[in-house]
Amino acid sequence: MATTHADRIRAHLVQLATAGLDVRAFTDAALALLVRAVPFDSACMATADPATNILTGTTKWGELGDASDEEWARFEYLVPDVYDFRDVAQRPGQVTSLRVETGDHAERSARFRRYLRPAWGFRDELRAALRADDGNVWGYLALYRHDDSAFTLADQQFVSVVAPLLAVGLRAGLLATAVTEGALDAPVVLIVDGDGQIVQAGPGAEELAADLGAGPLHGSLLPVALRALTQAARSGRPAVPRTRLRTLSGQWLVAHAAPLRSRDGSTSDIVVTIEEARPPEIVPLVIAAFGLTRREQDVVRLVLQGLDTGQIAATLHLSAHTVQDHLKIIFDKTGVRSRRELTAKVFYDQYAPRMNGRLAPNGWFAEASRPVGTPAGSAAEPGSPTAPAETRGGLKAVRHAGR
């Protein structure tokens, strides 16, 4: 049987997904291939936290820009519509298009009627949730067309077929680059009003905003991941949404948001708290990003706990021979040759480079000094309840939020 154009595009995407590119490089190349199989005028590919499915960063293609991110997040999380990304993630094939969904009556969609058409002139939208073979959603895709040529069922089918490849590429991109130093001395707190503007900010907010890819702190430059988080908090789905983020300096952060209730009962303001992620929050994500099966992940978790082959076999009700077979596959997938190297790759190479630093006499890292003017016993002081854990660090960042 002759190889079709779509088959060739898919084969190129297979190679691209395993090329070891960072997220931005992979996304740019993937969209350049995808447009040859499913023509579109503009596109957005987003990363997502696989634990919460909340968007964590975007790469935009075509005329899309950052100026309307707040409006996009409002329609995505607050305005009822025929579907949103979370709905698409639950559908067979994890893909749909606006005109197919509405029976060619796109005006039934509030997002189309009040945002996509007036802001951009789009006439159709195709959305896909990017779910990898591990069952996790690692990102989302949205394609747009200006003309009356609607996305067809064949277009949806092709995107559904390649969506797992796109997910694998995004997943692999998390581990594609080297780590760098960097750490938050204390959690950063932001107060965001009903218009998405930052009205109050705690110490370190300016530096953190720059590290998340934003400019000077004001609402129009709030990173899209935080916009999504604050609107998710307004929607109440879930009550206190949280997500894991990467910064330009390589840190892994956890951000969560919650409405603030005033004396009159109104909840227009949102408090956003951003802090360094703890190992229990990030290590499972790093392990999953290696593309390991559930059983292989179980073996890695026990290796990281220091169990030997016999103990792992007894815990998982496997034979020692089967554990060794799993370890060989794990070593191959992670590019290591021993348990020691595996532990180093997860904790040191991919999570906690600061652990290689010199310890001060007080038991904290010498280079992670307390901020000027911070009293002993404060949030930034080692040993305080909110002090960063010793193993906190980060991954080298990929580009976020519409760059």
| pTM for the whole structure | 0.80
Please write the tens of the pLDDT for every residue from 145-196.
998 889 999 999 999 999 999 999 999 988 775 555 556 778 999 999 888 8
Tell me how far CA of residue 318 lies from CA of 128, 221, 291, 367, in angstroms.
38, 52, 21, 44
In angstroms, rounded to a whole number, what is the distance separating the alpha carbons of residues 219 and 214?
A: 10
Domains by residue range for the chain, with CATH: 5-173 (3.30.450.40), 281-354 (1.10.10.10)
In angstroms, rounded to a whole number, what is the distance separating the alpha carbons of residues 53 and 87?
A: 11
User: Mean of the pLDDT values across residues 40-54?
Assistant: 94
Please write the tens of the pLDDT for every residue from 344-374.
888 766 655 555 556 566 655 555 443 333 4
CA angle (123 as vertex; 122, 124 as ends), nearest 5? 100
| Radius of gyration (C-alpha) of the chain in whole angstroms | 22
> Helix (H, G, I), strand (E, B), or coil: what is residue 175?
coil
Does 251 have pLDDT greater than 50? yes
| Stretch among 152-161, 313-322, 381-390 having the lowest mean pLDDT | 381-390
Residue 9 Ramachandran class (φ > 0 left, ψ -120 to 50 alpha, else beta): alpha
> How high is the pLDDT of residue 383?
37
> How high is the pLDDT of residue 275?
92
The DSSP letter of residue 152 is P
> How high is the pLDDT of residue 403?
33
Amino acid at 265: G
> How high is the pLDDT of residue 175?
78
> How high is the pLDDT of residue 26?
95
In angstroms, rounded to a whole number, what is the distance separating the alpha carbons of residues 232 and 187?
A: 21
> How high is the pLDDT of residue 382?
36
**pLDDT mean across residues, the chain:** 83
